[in-house]
């Protein structure tokens, strides 16, 4: 219960990073693929494989934004795994600093001293 606030916040940050990555990388990826297709159409070389340095260059040119888009999509849609890994919900964590409170018996966080809600009554 204590971890919920911290976890929700962390999840939002992960999704925000994902959206930012997608926002920057996806248009760049589309632009580079479109540029590549336009180049191939202009050269009328569909079907004929590019010579070695060129296909490697094209691949590297697309690889950067492709990886960023993939990372962004993962953080946006699959980031919950990462969040659960970083902040397991079966253990109590301080809502302020994220300190592990599973061994804590006080009503204050030993790390930052914030007052904690416990079973006998919530306080803020």
Instruction: Give the footprint of Zn ion on this chain (CB under 5 A).
Output: 94, 96-97, 99, 109, 111-112
Q: What single-letter DSSP state applies at residue 124?
A: -
CB of 95 to Zn ion, least distance (A): 8
Structure-token pair, residue 34: 């479109």
Q: Given the complex with Zn ion, which of 6 and 15 has the nearer CB atom?
A: 6
Task: Supply the minimum distance, in Å, between the C-beta of residue 41 and Zn ion.
Answer: 59
Q: Can you tell me the distance from the alpha carbon of 120 to that of 112, in angstroms, rounded to the nearest whole number?
A: 21
Q: Residue 6 or 40: which CB sits closer to Zn ion?
A: 6
Minimum distance of Zn ion from residue 19's CB (angstroms): 28
With respect to Zn ion, which residue has the nearer C-beta, 36 or 99? 99
Alpha helix ranges (H) inside the chain = 3-43, 52-86
Q: What is the largest CA-CA distance in the chain?
A: 76
């Amino acid at each position: 219960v204590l971890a919920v606030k911290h976890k929700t916040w962390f999840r939002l940050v992960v999704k925000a990073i994902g959206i930012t990555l997608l926002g920057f990388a996806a248009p760049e990826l589309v632009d580079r693929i479109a540029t590549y297709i336009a180049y191939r159409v202009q050269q009328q070389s569909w079907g004929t494989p590019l010579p070695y340095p060129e296909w490697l260059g094209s691949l590297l040119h697309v690889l950067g934004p492709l990886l960023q888009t993939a990372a962004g999509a993962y953080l946006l849609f699959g980031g919950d795994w990462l969040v659960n890994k970083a902040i397991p919900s079966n253990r109590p964590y301080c809502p302020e600093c994220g300190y592990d409170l599973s061994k804590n018996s006080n009503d204050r966080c030993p790390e930052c001293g914030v007052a904690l809600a416990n079973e006998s009554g919530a306080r803020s």
